[in-house]
A = this chain, B = another copy of it.
Amino acid sequence: MKPRETPAGPPLTPLSLAILGLLEQEPRSGYDLRKIFATTPMGYFSSSPGAIYPALRRLERARWIRGSVDRAQPLRPRQVFALTAGGGRILREALARSVTRADVAARFDELLLRFAFAGRVLGRRHTLAFLRELLARVGSHVRYLRAQVRALPESAIPYGRLALEQGLESYQATGRWLRRAIRELEEPRTGPARIRKGGSGP
């Protein structure tokens, strides 16, 4: 038995990952996916047909998803895609992959997407492990940014420092959120801690 059974396969772009995660929840058509990307906070991803339909075909060619024509509907027949067993394995692998500081700095949205899917797909235990690793990496990124701020000459014009501080404070808030999320998942049977208000009202 050779170690790697996956013969390369198509690259797992953020869009592909989002599609796999959504199809794990339930089978959906390309149009369903477009609606989700167009009308929910997942709208971060492109909802353009020129992105989604080719992506679906790539995933189908790799046998990670399988489409079937749904003729129940009276309209033009929809093609509904479902995750295959192999696709599920790929998804779990992608969600369990370890996190680097570079991911935190440059691809945080993807990490958040992974978290959102991890609960269903990996279960509470692995999701907690993921969050703890994420917290460690966010912490080291915060320390990195703080060092960058300190390294600025006192005389420098404030714009660069302010821009750095935006990132710093945003990641600090994320650190606080991570600790809360970890606490919440550790004791699952407590009522949901509603978020305190305050922040960016007018």
Q: Give chain A's interface residue range (CB within 8 Å of chain B).
A: 35 or more
> For chain A residues 66-118, which have a beta carbon within 8 Å of chain B?
105-106, 112-113, 115-118
Contact with A195, one of B116, B135, B154, B169 (Cβ below 8 angstroms) = B169
User: In this assembly, does A145 line the interface, its C-beta being within 8 Å of a C-beta of chain B?
Assistant: yes
Interchain CB contact under 8 A, A142 and B177: no
A195 partner residues in chain B, CB cutoff 8 A: 149, 165, 168-169
Question: Is the Cβ of B166 less than 8 Å from the Cβ of A177?
Answer: yes
Binary B-proximity of A105-133 (CB < 8 A = 1, otherwise 0):
11000001101111110000001000000
A48, B135: Cα distance in complex, Å: 29
Shortest Cβ gap from A183 to chain B (Å): 11
Q: Please give the distance in Å from A189's CB to the nearest CB on chain B.
A: 12
Chain B hits for A149, CB < 8 A = 195
Report the minimum CB–CB distance from A123 to chain B (whole Å).
11
Question: Quick check: which of A27-35, A52-60, A156-164 contacts chain B, the rest being far away?
Answer: A156-164
> In this assembly, does A14 line the interface, its C-beta being within 8 Å of a C-beta of chain B?
no
Residues on the B chain within 8 Å of A164, using CB: 41
A172 touches which of B159, B166, B200 (Cβ 8 Å): B200
Interface: A50 (CB within 8 A): no
The reply to whether A198 and B169 contact each other, CB–CB distance below 8 Å, is no
- Which of chain B's residues have a CB closer than 8 A to the CB of A163? 112-113, 115-116
Q: Which residues of A contact B (CB under 8 A)?
A: 40-41, 43-44, 105-106, 112-113, 115-120, 127, 135-136, 138-139, 142-143, 145, 148-149, 154, 157-177, 181, 184-185, 192, 195, 198-202
**9 closest residue pairs by CB, A with B:** A175-B200, A172-B199, A119-B159, A173-B173, A116-B163, A142-B200, A139-B200, A169-B173, A170-B170
